[in-house]
Structure 1
Amino acid sequence: MELKYEMIPEDKIELCRDACNELMSFQKSKAYITPELFDSMNFDTRMVPSVNKAIENYIVVVKDNDKIVGYVYSNISPKETYSNEFAVFFDLSSVSKNNVGCLSQFYIKEEYRKYGVGSTLFNMSMEWLKQFDDVEDYFIFVSNGNDNALEFYQRKGFAVSHDILDGFITVLRSEKKLANK
């Protein structure tokens, strides 16, 4: 195994297509609340619009030789981005600044888990997010049934804020002052 972490620019997000689609399939396989909602979720409906709406994007792929085995996508977006036709992800009035940071997508192929890849990608994302002075609130949205991800983020200092869409998504939140500990 020869792992390499590579930050990619927005115009290369196509490299994440297969991994993003695998993430959506994985989430559907774990979901016990309305898994059919994932049927319309894929690279073109999730990652592309998110990248286009964000103010700043951070995308890192993990390669084993030349094969992509995982990725993380984080962004800085106006808080209003998270109130849309799909859902209202958090109480906008609870966020004092105009922008929020979001660890938006995170996927590692199963055979590459347990080697520290997740912690490395998480730490890279948090370091990137923390550099923005105009952001104090960080969010992660975990789909129902993905208990391992939920526990991972809680171990990393994120707390469950609330559920949305009748439990379809658990919203986790951290604030800059807490994340800097």
Structure 2
Amino acid sequence: MTITYEVLPNEKMEECRDLCNELMIFQKSKAHFKPELFDSMNFDTRMVPSMKSAIYNQIVVAKDDGKIIAYAYSNISPKEAYSNDFATFFDQSSVSKKNVGCLSQFFIKEGYRKIGIGSILFELSMKWLHPFDDVEDYFIFVSNGNDDALEFYKRKGFIVSHNILDGFITVLRNK
């Protein structure tokens, strides 16, 4: 196993299609509350719109022998982008600047988990997010039932802020 990491240019986001779709299936399999909400979630309904509405995007991938086995998608977006028909993700007045940073999607294929890939992807994402002067609030949204992810982000210094959609999603933030 030879793991390499690289940043994908936005125009190559299609390379994450299969993993993004696997993420939605994985989240549904973990969910104990409203798993049916994942039925309409996929690459075209989650990643594509998110990238289009963001100001800046970064996709970091991990590869094993040239094949993508994990990815982390982060963005810088206007705080208003997180209040839409689906949900209001956080109290807009709790965010001091006009933009927020978000680790939006994070997935590692089975067989590659718990060997350090997640920590490297997380650190590369945070390193990219933090230099933006117009951002001081960073969010991560964890679907219900994904307790391993929740604990991982808490170990990395994020704290649980609140739940939305009656507990369907746990919102974590940096402060």
The TM-score with structure 2 as length reference comes to: 0.99
Q: Which runs of 5+ in 1 are unaligned?
A: 176-181
Classify the secondary structure of the residue corresponding to 2:111. helix
Match of 1:162 in 2: 162
- 1:98 matched to which residue of 2? 98
Give aligned pairs, total: 175
**Deviation of the 1:142 alpha carbon:** 0.1
Other-structure match for 2:147: 147
Counterpart for residue 65 of structure 1: 65
Please list, as runs of the form range in 1=range in 2, the aligned pairs for 1:69-148 lying within 5 A after superposition: 69-148=69-148
Map of 1:20 onto structure 2: 20
- Specify every segment of 5 or more residues in structure 2 that has no aligned partner in the other structure, as ranges: none
Alignment partner of 1:105: what SS?
strand
Q: CA RMSD, aligned part only?
A: 0.5
In 2, distance between residues paired with 1:115 and 1:141? 23
- SS of equivalent to 1:138: strand
Amino acid of the structure 1 residue aligned with 2:89: F
Runs of 4+ in 1 over 4 A off after TM superposition: none
Aligned residue for 2:84, secondary structure, equals: coil
- The Cα of 1:91 is off from its aligned counterpart by 0.1
**C-alpha distance after superposition, 1:78-117 (max 9, x if no partner):** 0000000000000000001000000000000120011100
- Deviation (angstroms), 1:6: 1.1
Inter-partner Cα distance in structure 2 for 1:132 and 1:159: 21
TM-score between the two structures when normalised by the length of structure 1:
0.96
Equivalent position SS for 2:86: coil
Q: Which residue of 1 aligns with 2:56?
A: 56
Matched residues, percent identical? 74
Query: Which deviations, in whole Å up to 9, do the C-alpha atoms of 1:48-86 show, x marking residues without a partner?
Result: 000000000010111101211000000000000000000
Q: Distance in 2 between matches of 1:114 and 1:167?
A: 26
Q: Deviations over 1:113-164 (max 9, x none)?
A: 1110000000000010001011000000000000000000000000000000
For 1:146 and 1:82, locate their aligned partners in 2 and report how far apart those are by CA, in whole Å. 21
Name the aligned partner's letter for residue 9 of structure 2: P
